[in-house]
Structure formats: C-alpha cells, structure tokens
C-alpha cells in the first residue's frame, strides 16, 4: 500500500487524541473536560491551533513547491514578519476592538505580509530562476527590516505594548477579545478555501517545482499561477498572524516531515501536511500550557523544535549539494 | 512547420541573435551548431517561446500560426523542450518526472489514465531508463537524469522537439541511442527535431540539415555536406579543421 495512505490510518485516531489532549490540558493540569466555562475558552483555542497549524503547513508546502526551494517558509521568507508588523501597526492605530479589530487588523497584516513576500521574490530573482541561496538571503534582509520596524512600533507603543508583545511571540490564547470568535470563522474560511485551491493545483505545483522554464514548456502560465499561489499562501499566513501572532518553523518542518511519508507529489503532500501541522501545533500548545508554572508562548516551543530541524536540513542539503 | 523571419533577440544592450531567418519542414532532424556564446541556446529558448517578449524582434510561425498567438498550454501540445540544465529540488521518482510530460493533456485534479501510463512507460523504454523508474531523481547520475528528462519530452508526444544539448553527460552508447531515436521519430511520425549540438561529427551523422550560428548571425545553413567544410568552419571556430568521410556511413566528419 502507498505509504501516505497507510499514514492516514494512524493519523485519523491520532488527530482525535490530539484534540482531546488539547481540550484537557491546562495550567492546572489535565481534566475539566466537563466544565462548560473552561471549554468555552479551550474549544476555540484548540480550533485556532488546528487552523493555524494547518494554514502554516499548507502555506509552507505550497511556497516550497512554487519557489522550487525546500527551504522556503512563511517565517523564513519574512511573510510572517511583514504580517506581524501590519498587525502591530493596526494595534498601534487602535484597531484592536470592534470592526477595526475584525477587519482592519487582518487587512493590515495581509497587506504587509504580501509586501514582504513581493520584496523577497523580486530581490531573489536571478533571471527567471529563484536560487535557494538568494531566497534565503532576501528573507533574512526583509525579516531584519520588518524586525526593526516592529521595534520602532514597540518603542512608540503605550498601552498597546502588552498586546503587541503577545502577538509577536505567537500565542493561541485569543487575545483580541470578543470579536475574535468571529475572526476565527473568517480565518477558518480563508484557510479552508486557500488550501482547497492549492490542493486543486497539486499537479501544477509539481511542475512549478521543476523551475520556471520547464514548467512553462509543460504548458503552465507560470507568472500568473505563481502570483495566485503566493497570494493564497500569504492570505493564510496573514489570517493566522492576525489571530495567533508569529509562529515560526511550522511551515518549514511539517511539509518536510510529510514529504518523508508521501514523497514530493503535492496532491498527496498537501493534505498530509495540513493534518500533521494541525496536530503538531495543538500538541505544542498543550505543551506550552503545561510544562511550566506559567504559560509559554507556543511560538517559543515551535521555534525551539524547528531550529534544530532546520540545521539538520541544511546539513543534509550540503551533502546532496544545493 | 517552423518558419523564422528576421528574428533578433537582445538581453538588455547585449545582442544575442541578429536577424536570423530560416524555415524548417516536418520530419527532419535539424542541428543547431556554433561556438560558445553564438546564440544557440537563445535561439532555442526563442523557439520554445520561453524568453521575455521585450527583447525580441521578428517573427516565429509554427504550423503557419504566429507563435505569440499560442497560449502556453497550446504550445505545450506543439513542442516539447529539453533544457540544458535540469535542477531538481525535490526527490520525485524518475517515473513521476516522466509522467509530468502528460500534464498538458490533463485538467487539474484529473488523474493520469491508462493511456498516459502506457505512453510514459514507452517513452522511458525508448530512452533506456525504464529500469530507473522508482529511483529518486536526485540519486541519478547526470546521464541518467538526461535520459529521464528526454523521456518526459517524448511523453509529451508533440510534433516538434527542441533539444538543447541532449547528448550532454551521455556516454557513447546513449548518445547514439538518443540521436537514433530522434531520427526514428522523424522517419516514422514526422516529428521535427531541433537539436543543439556541440559535437560536429554527431551533427554530420544524425542531422538532415544544419544551421551554423556565429555571434548571433546565421552564417550558413544546408545539408551536413554543405555546412561541414573547412571554408565555412575555420573562420567561425577560428582553427583549421579537416574534413574526412565516415568509413561506414559516408557522412562528413570534422577532425582538428
């Protein structure tokens, strides 16, 4: 049997377990599944974890294929940084409550996420190719730029400082008050639609990963398609950032894990990445809530797990030659 | 099949092609020759419709229809291209790579049918790489990869093949095999192949017609007998060459 199909037999029960674990774990230890008040907080949190993990993973998988670069990821490419800057800017402008928070904040984070992606894309393009090295370098530059801007905002912030810091650390704790439940549904719709679109483009993503010229000679409208795919990826990242802040490395690690099981064919890889990403983030969040007396931002956990994995990938790449 | 009229191409200030005109009928194997940097690959990319329209002037017609009027998905049914470098970022299996040659025939989400698998398998057997089908593409040697990429182009089943140095990385056996295959496709299916070659002797032996480029200009076109002469080649390659004839096939051969 195909390995990815076999993996689904394990993943289905595992996902249920993950959700139960996510619902049951809290700062006070496990339990309290029956308490309505606790559930009214944890259920959206687990939902957000599932969505954010799924969105980041599918965005990472799509970016890797579309740029033909296995090190592409929304966080490393500066998309998350750009989106975070947009969200922080919205907070500074007082767009955290009411309609402003529900519409303004995600729009700001989308706009700047896209801007970051566009800058990286145009900086790293050499002729019609996007070499691995230049993509990573441009990502670093754009990230540095937006980090500086975020510092600036932090320095300017008054009472919004707390909110902004939470946002930057990556947190599933639903920090934006009552309208965030509504935002959660918008986020869900965005992630489901964009992932479905990317999945429908599975074969085209395969072709794109061969490089622009072969992809075009195989009949793709390369530029148009790339723009759409980058747009879908950035949309998902912006949706995630506006609700959960910057969560690094999920978009990098998960597609690689999934690829080990399914191979690089995107029609198989994407669904697997989505489910693995959702599981991973909910588990990481459960960990974040329980391992220390105080809650740790989940972004810290994913980065702690992600960095060694990134190093492993780089070392392996060195051997197979970039 | 392909008619090129007064084609020029520049990369910014650099003129890579300068007023090239020729016309190629179907069922022929056409060799594209010239020293390094003479514009062979640029011409190949122009014919493939890949290069930015900005730098180009002149006209390319395929089946008497203007190149610009083809959408990429239509062009992919007209010609298949093998590029000079093939870089793979992900470990698709060789078979998956070849099957991608069928994608111009498939809608999104439509799975490959039995016919597509048949064609892909035949293409791999023709290129002598079927036994590699389950190997990850990045684990293959340069020559093995080259054969897999060629098989992908064959799987596209187009009336025109554009091959940019297809014999790169190939050993003698596979050089002969691939070029014989191209000849066979020309004879049996009327496929027009445009092949960039560095090896003048392979060109002399396997091509019906040769186009010789130098500094972006088409300096000579004709049969191997007409093009492969010291008078033509010496000024282009800036050395003295000698012409002999192949003891078995009688085709012109160039030695230095």
- Long-range pairs, A22-26, Cβ under 8 A, ≥24: A22/A46, A22/A49, A22/A282, A22/A283, A22/A285, A22/A286, A25/A286, A25/A289, A25/A290, A26/A289, A26/A290
Mean local confidence (pLDDT), A192-218 = 94
A8-25 per-position pLDDT tens digit: 888 889 988 888 888 887
The predicted structure's pLDDT at residue B108: 85
A68 touches B at CB < 8 Å: yes
pLDDT band at A37 (very low <50, low <70, confident <90, very high): low
Identify which of A201, A222, A264 has the shortest CB distance to residue B92: A264
User: Domain containing A33: what range?
Assistant: 2-321
Taking chain A, what is the end-to-end CA distance rounded to the nearest angstrom?
32
The token pair at B83 is 């590029």
Paired residues of B217 in beta bridges:
B214
Contacts of A69 in chain B (CB under 8 A): 89
**Is residue B71 scored above 70 in pLDDT?**
yes
The predicted structure's pLDDT at residue A29: 56
Contacts of A209 in chain B (CB under 8 A): 89-90
Where on the phi/psi map is residue B13: left (φ > 0), alpha (ψ -120 to 50), or beta?
alpha
Nearest by Cα to A138 from A86, A71, A88:
A71
- Looking at residue A186, which CATH number applies to its domain? 1.10.3470.10
Distances, alpha carbon B83 to alpha carbons A4, A143, A187, B39, B164, in Å? 32, 35, 42, 15, 5
Residue numbers of B between 214 and 253 with CB closer than 8 Å to A: none
Q: What's the per-residue H, E or C state across A149-212?
A: HHHHHHHHCCCCHHHHHHHHHCCCCCCCCCHHHHHHHHHHHHHHHHHHHHHHCHHHHHHHCCCH
Nearest by Cα to A269 from A3, A38, A1:
A3
The predicted structure's pLDDT at residue A215: 93
Find which of A47-51, A165-169, B68-72, B247-251 is predicted with most confidence, using mean pLDDT: A47-51
Nearest by Cα to B218 from B1, B4, B2:
B4
B146 touches A at CB < 8 Å: no
Beta strands of chain A (E only): which ranges? 25-26, 29-30
pLDDT band at A175 (very low <50, low <70, confident <90, very high): low
If 0-12 CB within 10 Å is exposed, 13-18 middle and 19+ buried, where does residue A89 land? buried
Number of domains in chain A: 1
Find which of A154-163, A313-322, B10-19, B91-100 is predicted with most confidence, using mean pLDDT: B91-100
User: Minimal Cα–Cα distance from A76 to chain B, Å?
Assistant: 18
A248-295 per-position pLDDT tens digit: 889 999 999 999 899 999 999 999 999 999 999 999 999 988 888 888
Q: Which candidate in A214, A259, A317 is best for mutational testing of the B interface (most B CBs within 10 A)?
A: A214
Q: Which residues of B215-234 are buried (b: 16+ CB within 10 A; e: fewer)?
A: ebbbbbbeebeebbbeebbe
Mean local confidence (pLDDT), A65-75 = 85
Which range among A131-140, A290-299, B85-94 shows the weakest confidence by mean pLDDT?
A131-140
Where on the phi/psi map is residue B19: left (φ > 0), alpha (ψ -120 to 50), or beta?
left
Mean local confidence (pLDDT), A139-168 = 88
Give the Cα separation of A277 and A254 in Å (integer): 6
Q: Which candidate in A210, A220, A269 is best for mutational testing of the B interface (most B CBs within 10 A)?
A: A210
The predicted structure's pLDDT at residue A322: 41
Mean local confidence (pLDDT), B213-235 = 91
B32-47 per-position pLDDT tens digit: 999 988 999 899 999 9
Give, as one character, the DSSP assignment of residue A100.
I
Contacts of B92 in chain A (CB under 8 A): 206, 263-265
A91-136 per-position pLDDT tens digit: 888 776 666 666 788 888 889 998 998 898 888 877 666 666 787 7
If you count them, how many residues does chain A have?
322
CB contact under 8 A, A220 and B72: yes
CB contact under 8 A, B81 and A214: yes
Q: What is the mean pLDDT of chain A?
A: 85
Q: Which residues contact B231 (CB under 8 A, 6 or more apart)?
A: none
Query: How much of chain B, in percent, has pLDDT values that exceed 70?
Result: 100
B45 touches A at CB < 8 Å: yes
Query: How much of chain A, in percent, has pLDDT values that exceed 90?
Result: 35
Mean local confidence (pLDDT), A42-71 = 91
Identify which of A68, A200, A265 has the shortest CB distance to residue B89: A68
Mean local confidence (pLDDT), A157-184 = 76
Contacts of B151 in chain A (CB under 8 A): none
The token pair at A115 is 């801007």
**Is residue B52 scored above 80 in pLDDT?**
no
**Is residue A321 scored above 50 in pLDDT?**
no
Give, as one character, the DSSP assignment of residue A293.
S
CB contact under 8 A, A214 and B89: no
State the pairing for strand pair B192-196/B209-214.
unpaired
- The answer to whether the CB of A309 falls within 8 A of the CB of A252 is yes
**Is residue A151 scored above 60 in pLDDT?**
yes
Contacts of B75 in chain A (CB under 8 A): 217, 219
Q: Which residues of A234-272 are buried (b: 16+ CB within 10 A; e: fewer)?
A: bbbbbbbbbbbbbbbbbbbbbbbbbbebbbbbbbbbbbb
Distances, alpha carbon A143 to alpha carbons A69, A120, A167, A253, in Å? 18, 10, 16, 19
Which range among A140-149, A161-170, A175-184, A188-197 shows the weakest confidence by mean pLDDT?
A175-184
User: Between A and B, how many CB-CB pairs are < 8 A?
Assistant: 83
Mean local confidence (pLDDT), B121-127 = 94
């Amino acid at each position: 049997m195909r390995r990815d199909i076999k993996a689904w037999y394990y993943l289905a029960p595992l996902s249920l377990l993950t959700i139960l674990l996510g619902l049951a774990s809290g700062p006070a230890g496990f339990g309290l599944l029956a308490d309505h008040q606790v559930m009214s907080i944890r259920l959206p949190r687990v939902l957000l974890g599932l969505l954010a993990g799924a969105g980041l993973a599918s965005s990472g998988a799509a970016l890797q294929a579309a740029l033909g670069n296995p090190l592409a990821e929304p966080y490393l490419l500066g998309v998350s940084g750009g989106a975070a800057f947009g969200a922080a800017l919205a907070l500074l402008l007082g767009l955290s409550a009411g309609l402003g928070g529900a519409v303004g904040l995600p729009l700001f984070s989308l706009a700047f996420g896209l801007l970051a992606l566009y800058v990286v894309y145009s900086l790293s393009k050499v002729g019609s190719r996007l070499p691995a090295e230049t993509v990573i370098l441009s990502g670093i530059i754009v990230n540095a730029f937006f980090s500086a801007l975020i510092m600036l905002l932090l320095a300017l912030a008054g009472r919004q400082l707390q909110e902004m810091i939470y946002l930057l650390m990556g947190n599933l704790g639903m920090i934006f008050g009552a309208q965030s439940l509504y935002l959660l549904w918008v986020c869900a719709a965005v992630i489901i639609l964009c992932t479905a679109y990317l999945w429908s483009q599975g074969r085209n993503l395969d072709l794109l990963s061969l490089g622009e010229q072969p992809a075009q000679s195989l009949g793709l409208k390369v530029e148009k398609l790339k723009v759409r795919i980058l747009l879908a990826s950035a949309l998902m990242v912006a949706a995630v950032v506006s609700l959960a802040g910057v969560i690094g490395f999920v978009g990098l690690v998960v597609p690689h894990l999934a690829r080990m099981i399914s191979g690089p064919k995107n029609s198989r890889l994407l669904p697997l990445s989505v489910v693995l990403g959702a599981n991973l983030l909910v588990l990481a969040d459960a960990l974040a809530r329980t391992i220390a007396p105080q809650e740790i931002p989940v972004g810290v956990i994913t980065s702690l797990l992600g960095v060694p994995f990134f190093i492993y990938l780089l070392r392996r790449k060195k051997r197979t030659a970039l | 099949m392909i008619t090129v009229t007064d084609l020029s191409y520049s990369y910014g200030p650099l003129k890579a092609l300068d007023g090239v005109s020729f016309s190629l009928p179907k069922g022929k194997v056409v060799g594209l020759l010239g020293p390094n940097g003479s514009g062979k690959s640029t011409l190949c990319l122009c014919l493939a419709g890949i290069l930015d329209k900005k730098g180009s002037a002149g006209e390319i017609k395929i089946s008497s229809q203007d190149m610009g009027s083809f959408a990429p998905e239509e062009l992919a049914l007209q010609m298949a291209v093998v590029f000079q470098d093939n870089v793979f970022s992900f470990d698709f299996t060789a078979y998956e790579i070849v099957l991608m040659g069928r994608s111009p025939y498939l809608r999104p989400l439509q799975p490959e049918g039995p016919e597509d698998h048949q064609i892909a398998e035949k293409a791999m057997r023709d290129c002598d790489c079927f036994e590699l089908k389950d190997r990850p593409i990045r684990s293959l040697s340069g020559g093995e990869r080259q054969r897999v990429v060629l098989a992908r182009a064959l799987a596209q089943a187009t009336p025109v093949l554009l091959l940019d140095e297809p014999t790169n990385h190939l050993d003698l056996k596979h050089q002969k095999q691939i070029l014989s295959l191209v000849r066979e496709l020309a004879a049996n299916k009327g496929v027009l192949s445009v092949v960039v070659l560095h090896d003048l002797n392979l060109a002399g032996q396997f091509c019906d017609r040769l186009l010789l480029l130098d500094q972006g200009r088409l300096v000579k076109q004709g049969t191997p007998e007409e093009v492969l002469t010291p008078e033509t080649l010496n000024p282009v390659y800036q050395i003295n060459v000698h012409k002999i004839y192949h003891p078995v096939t009688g085709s012109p051969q160039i030695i230095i």
